[in-house]
Amino acid sequence: MRDMPDKAYELAIVDPPYGIGADNVKESITKKTHAHGEIRRKAYSGNWDTSAPIQGYFDELFRVSKDQIIWGGNYFIESLKCTRCMVMWDKESMDFTGVDFELAWTSFDSSCKAFRMSRVMAYSNPRKADREIRIHPTQKPVRLYEWLLQNYAKPGDKILDTHCGSGSILIACDILGFSIDAYEIDADYFQAAKERLERHQRQQVLDLK
């Protein structure tokens, strides 16, 4: 981000590592075959969630974007300003062995909002090209990103994602017509997200025929 100009993006939607050890979850699947092709899946490891971003990351994020939505904002309190608007993904469960909801800090001066979708619905997308594909342990549903874009972005806005992960935001931007620059340092996740987006785009073409 150091090489980016000031306010290059209207909105940054990011989901950086929280530093809580989510990378220790093990699901060692290297290839999964399904009706819409194959996708490489990396074992959920790699030490990518051993620490949270440093203050310099947030300073640069605020410099290059006009507004921000930062998932895991409750983990980064010391790096963020007070805000009126927190966003919640309510997973519609009361499961004390897991996370019932996730929070995102936002820069918007508006009331707090909740997006409600169960885990089952989140990972069984009715769109054929995106069905039953979970390639990242902290993956968020495409429809969550669609909701964020519909409520917090304006037509023509350029979007930034510094931690692309599974690529759900790429599909949401493709569906809604937003331009996005997205980055992912892990080569396996980058390739899997790229293949996931391409599969979605192929399915759109088929649906139009």
| Helices and strands (H and E) in the chain: how many | 5, 9
Mean pLDDT computed over 115-125: 79
| Residue labelled with tokens 């169960």 | 118
- The arithmetic mean of pLDDT across residues 48-60, rounded, is 87
> According to the model, what pLDDT value does residue 98 have?
72
Asked whether residue 109 carries a pLDDT value surpassing 70, the answer given is yes
129: left (phi over 0), alpha (psi -120 to 50) or beta: alpha
For the question of whether the overall pTM of this predicted structure is more than 0.75, the answer is yes
CATH number of 9-208: 3.40.50.150
Do residues 69 and 11 lie in contact, with contact meaning Cβ atoms separated by under 8 Å?
Answer: yes
Cα 91–Cα 131–Cα 89 angle in degrees, nearest 5: 20
Which has the minimum average pLDDT: 74-88, 172-186, 193-207? 193-207
Averaged pLDDT of the chain: 84
Q: What's the Rg (C-alpha) of the chain?
A: 17
Give the neighbor-by-neighbor strand order of the sheet with 179-182.
113-116, 86-90, 101-106, 65-71, 9-14, 158-161, 179-182
Cβ–Cβ < 8 Å for 1, 58: no
Q: What is the mean pLDDT of residues 24-34?
A: 44
Question: Closest Cα to residue 16, out of 74, 66, 89, 64?
Answer: 74
> Domain map of the chain by residue range?
9-208
Query: CA 123, CA 142: separation in Å to the nearest integer?
Result: 9
Question: By C-alpha distance, which of 97, 17, 2, 83 is closest to 49?
Answer: 17
